[in-house]
Amino acid sequence: MAAVTIRNVPDDVYHALAGRAARSGRSLQEYPIHEPAGLLTDRDANRP
């Protein structure tokens, strides 16, 4: 499986994602793999 690194994430965004991951019972590394739809904004979801 490939690895993805995201740099310069604002603290508030990091803490929000870490909280979502914890509430879902996943690590911050696992969360984006299992919850991709929740990470998209409405604007992104409507792109062609």
Domain residue ranges of the chain, discontinuous segments joined by +: 11-45
Q: How far apart, in whole angstroms, are the C-alpha atoms of residue 35 and residue 24?
A: 9
The answer to whether residue 12 scores a pLDDT higher than 70 is yes
The answer to whether residue 10 scores a pLDDT higher than 90 is yes
Q: Which of the four pLDDT bands, split at 50, 70 and 90, describes residue 33?
A: confident
Query: What is the value of pTM for the model shown?
Result: 0.63
Residue type, 6: I
The answer to whether residue 41 scores a pLDDT higher than 80 is no
Q: How far apart, in whole angstroms, are the C-alpha atoms of residue 4 and residue 17?
A: 15
The predicted pLDDT at position 5 comes to 87
| Share of residues in the chain with pLDDT > 70 (%) | 71
Taken in order 28, 39, 9, 4, the sign of the CA dihedral is positive
